[in-house]
Structure 1
Amino acid sequence: MTHFSNLKPKKVLFIATRQIGDVLVTTPLISKARELWPDAEFHFLGYKGKLEMLKGNPDIAQVIETSDRPGFGEYLSLFNRLFQRYDLAFVTQPSDRAYLYGLVSAFHRVGVLGGHPQGKQSKVVDKSNRQNAWKKFICMHTVDVDYFSQHVIAEKLRLLEVFFRNPLELFSKPIKVTPPIGEALTPVIAGELTQPYIVIHPGPLTAYKRWPLAYWQKIITYLAKRGFQVVLSASPAKQDLQLNHDIFSLLEDNIRKQVINTAGKLSIPQAGSLLRAASLYIGVDTSITHLAAACNTPTITLFGATPPTNFGPWPNGFIGDQPYQLRSRSQTVGNITILQGPGECVPCRKAGCLDRADSYSECLDLLEPTQVIDAIEKVLGQH
C-alpha cells in the first residue's frame, strides 16, 4: 500500500536513458507533474542524440545528456553535476544505471521496476527479485512493468500515484503526448511537395519488426495511383537507408516520380513538421509512429510481436489508462489504427519467431497489403 505524500519538490529530475520513443512517452507524466507542481523546476536526463523529442517542451528547463556507455571520467563529472541537486527523481526505466542516477541526484525517488522475464525458471525470477529489492528500498513508490496489459504511458503516469489522494484522478482527464516543436523543412524537400502526401516509415530499430519489401512496393504503387505523393522517411541508420533504397528500386519509373525519399535527411523536429501536414502516416512499431500520433496525424501502424496494449501509439486526448485490446486484426481509437497479423501467438513479445534481433516475424509476413489498403480507404474516407 502506497502512502499519500505531501512532498512539494522545487527541483525535479526525469530520467529516461533509452531510445527516442521512450523519451516521448514520458511527456504525459511531465505534463501531469506540472499540473501538480506549477512552480517547480524540471530537468531531464537522457542519452546524447535521443532527446530531440523534447525540443521546445515548455515544462523542461534543462536537458542533461550522457553517453549510453560513459567512461569513468564522464560518470564522475555527471555525478558531480547531479549530486543531491534535486528534491525528487522520476526513474522511468528499470535499468540499474537509471536507478543509480536517481540515487545520486535526488533526496526522494519514484521508479519503474522491471517485470519477470516470461516463462523463465525460478532462478531467473529470484535474480530479478533481488535486483528489484534495492530499487524498492530506495524509492518512496514503485510501479511494476506489465508488458501485456499495462500501457507504457499509464505505467509512467502511475509514478505520480503517491502524490494523489485519489490516484484514479490520473486518468480522468484527456491525456496528451507532447511532440517537439516543428522545424522548417529544407527548401529542397519543401519544394518537392506539390500535392497531398502520405508519409511512410518502413524501418524499425530491429529486423523482426519489418514488413516485407514487396508489400511496401504494393502500398506505395496503390497510393501513387490514388493521386498522392508518397514521402519515404527513415532514420540516418545505415540499415534504414538501405531499406528505403531497396523499396525505391522496386518501384516502376512512373511511380518513382511521385515518391520523395527523405531518408536520413530530417531532424526529429523537421519530421514533426512533415507529419503535421500529411494526409496520413503509415509505419511499423517505431518511435516515428509515436511522433505521428502525437502530431494528431491519422496513423496506421503494423504491429507484430509487440503488444499494442503496452506500446501502441497513444491516441491523443484519450481518457483512461488503456486504449487498446491485446489482439485484434484491426482496431481504431481516435486517430490511430493498429493492424496485427494472424496467429494465436500474436503478440508474443519475443524478438520475432527466432527470438533474436535479426529474426523474421511470421505474423508480419502474413499481414497482407489488402488489409492495409482497406484501413487506408477507411481513414481517407473519414478525413
Structure 2
Amino acid sequence: MTTYSKLKPKKVLFIATRQIGDVLVTTPLISKARELWPDAEFHFLGYRGKLDMLHGNPDITEIIETSDRPDFSEYLTLFNRLFQRYHLAVVTQPSDRAYLYGLVAAFRRVGILGGHPQGKDAQGPHKRSKSEKQNAWKKFICMHTVDVDYFKQHVIAEKLRLLETFFKNPADLFSKPISVTPPAGEPLTPAIAGELQQPYIVVHPGPLTAYKRWPLAYWQTLITWLASQGLQVVLSASPAKQDVQLNHDIISLLNEETKKQVINAAGKLSIPQAGTLIRSAALYIGVDTSITHLAAACNTPTITLFGATPPTNFGPWPNDFIGEQPYQLRTRTQTVGHVTILQGPGDCVPCRKAGCLDKADSYSECLDLLEPQQAIEAIQKALAS
C-alpha cells in the first residue's frame, strides 16, 4: 500500500449520502482526521434532514445539504458549488453518486467500495466479477479504497481505514481509544422536562424497517416490569407515522397503573434533544436503529436487540474501545463497555437479510424468539453496575 503520510490537505470534504446513523458513524473518522491535519478545514456533504447527528460538531466548519433525489438544476448548482474546491474528498459510502460528488469536488479521493462483501453472505464468482468491474472506475480515481465486509469488519473500522494510507504505520489508527461524537444537546421542551422523574429509562422500539421490530407483547411485558421496579419509562420515537403508531399500540396494551409511569415522547424531540434526554437516563433500551447508536455515543448504558444485522459490522460502538472489533458475530448476550447486545436463537443468526422473507416488511424469527426475560436479565445487570 502506498503511503501519503506527508500529504497535508488544506480543505477536506467528507461525503455520507445515506441515513442519520450512517452520518453518526463517520465521527470517529472525522476526529482521527483532525489529529492528522489539525489546521485543515473540514466540510461535510449529506442528505437534507439526515445531518442532525453533526449538530455542534467542533471539527466541521460547513455542512452542505442536498436532496436524496436532486433534479438537474440542483445537480448543476451543487456541482458548481463543489467544483475542485477541495484538496481531498473522503467518500464514506460506496454509491456511484457519492463518488461522482467526490470526483467533482476534489483533486484527490479515498473511498469505500461495496458490492462484494467477504464472509458469511459472500456472493458467487459471477456476481463478484460483475461488482469488481463496476468498482474499477472508483479504484481508478482514488488514492486508496477500502472494501466492505458485512460480517468481519466493523463499520467504524471500515471508515477509519480510509485514513490508513496517510499513516506511516497504519496500525496507529487503532492504538488509541476510539469514540463516536454525539451531537451537541439542546434543551428539552417544558412539556417533556416537566414530567421527568429520576431514575428514568429511555425505550426506543421503532426501527427504520419492520424486520427489525420486536413483538408488541414483549414491549408490554418489559415496560410493565420496568414500571413495577419504580422506574419511569420515556417511550421515544421519530415523527414518522409508523413510529408514532407503534408507540400508541404499545401504550394501548399497558394497564392503567403502568401508563402512569410512561411518557410518550413520539415525534416531540429533535435529534439534539434526544441526546439531552438520553444523557440523563439511567439506561437506554432500543432496537437496531440510529438512536441506539446515539445512546451509545452519549455514554449511557445501552441495551440493544439485534436480529439480522451482524453486530460485528454495525453494533453500537462502545466509546473508548481500543482496537478494530469490539464484538463477536454470534452470542446470545455480549457486553463491551457500556453496550450490551442481545441476539435471539438460531443457527442462521445473523443472516444480514431483510428478515426471514428478505424484504422490508418481513418478520424476523430470531427477534420473535428473543424473549423479554433475556432483556430483563440484561437490564438488572446494567442497573446493578
Contact 1:111 1:159 in 2 (8 A): yes
* Superposition pairs of residues 14-33 of structure 1, within 5 angstroms: 14-33=14-33
Which of these residues, 344, 348, 351, is aligned with residue 347 of structure 2?
Answer: 344
Q: Structure 1, residues 266-297: CA drift from partner, whole Å, max 9, x if none?
A: 00000000000000000000000000000000
Give me the whole-angstrom Cα distance separating, in 2, the residues matched to 1:88 and 1:204: 34
Q: Tell me if structure 1 keeps the 8 A contact 2:236–2:266.
A: yes
Alignment of 1:161 onto 2:136: no
Amino acid at match of 1:184: P
Q: Which residue pairs with 1:76 in the alignment? A: 76
TM superposition shift of 1:172: 0.4
How far has the Cα of 1:131 moved from its partner?
A: 1.2
Task: Say whether the 8 Å CA contact 2:3–2:167 is kept in structure 1.
Answer: no
My pick for the range that moved more, 187-196 or 302-311, is 187-196
Superposition deviation, residue 6 in structure 1: 1.8
Q: Distance in 2 between matches of 1:155 and 1:289?
A: 20
Contact 1:94 1:113 in 2 (8 A): yes
Alignment size in residue pairs: 382
Q: Which amino acid aligns with 2:86?
A: Y
1:272-330 CA-to-partner distances (Å, cap 9, x unmatched) read 00000000000000000000000000000000000000000000000001000000100
Q: Distance in 2 between matches of 1:141 and 1:366?
A: 43
Check conservation: 1:203, 1:284, Cα contact below 8 A: yes
5+ residue gaps, structure 2: none
Shift of 1:119: 4.9
TM-score by length of 1: 0.99
Amino acid at match of 1:90: V
Q: Which deviations, in whole Å up to 9, do the C-alpha atoms of 1:55-83 show, x marking residues without a partner? A: 00000000000000000000000000000
Residue among 168, 171, 183 paired with 2:174: 171
The code of the aligned residue for 1:329 comes to R
Which residues of 2 match residues 100-179 of structure 1 at below 5 A?
Answer: 100-116=100-116, 118-179=121-182
Question: CA separation in 2, counterparts of 1:6 and 1:344?
Answer: 48
Q: How does 1:309-348 map to 2 (within 5 A)?
A: 309-348=312-351
Partner Cα separation in structure 2 for residue 376 and residue 211 of structure 1? 16
Matched, 1:275 2:278: yes
Distance in 1 between residues matched to 2:81 and 2:122, nearest whole Å: 41
| Runs of 4 or more above 6 Å deviation | none
Q: 2:4 and 2:136 mapped to 1: Cα distance?
A: 21
- Report the AA paired with residue 39 of structure 1: D
CA deviation after TM superposition for structure 1 residue 2, in Å: 3.2
Letter in 2 for 1:304: G
Over the residues paired in the alignment, what is the CA RMSD in angstroms? 0.9
Q: Which runs of 5+ in 1 are unaligned?
A: none
Contact 1:176-1:317 within 8 A present in 2 as well: yes
Question: Secondary structure in 2 aligned to 1:199?
Answer: strand
Q: What is the aligned partner in structure 1 of residue 295 from structure 2? A: 292
DSSP-derived class of the 2:61 partner: strand
Question: In the TM superposition, what whole-angstrom CA distance separates every residue of 1:247-276 from its partner, at most 9, and x where no partner exists?
Answer: 010000110011000001100000000000
Q: Percent identity?
A: 81
Contact 2:15 2:90 in 1 (8 A): yes
Residue 35 of structure 2 aligns with which residue? 35
Find the aligned partners of 1:195 and 1:22 in 2 and give their Cα distance: 32
SS of 1:116's partner is coil
Query: In 2, distance between residues paired with 1:37 and 1:4?
Result: 13
CA offset at residue 7 of structure 1? 1.2
- How far apart, CA to CA, are the structure 2 residues paired with 1:119 and 1:184? 46
For 2:247 and 2:194, locate their aligned partners in 1 and report how far apart those are by CA, in whole Å. 21
Give the aligned partner of residue 85 of structure 1. Answer: 85
Q: Aligned AA for 1:365?
A: D
**In the alignment, which residue of structure 2 is the partner of 1:367?**
370
Equivalence for 2:242? 239
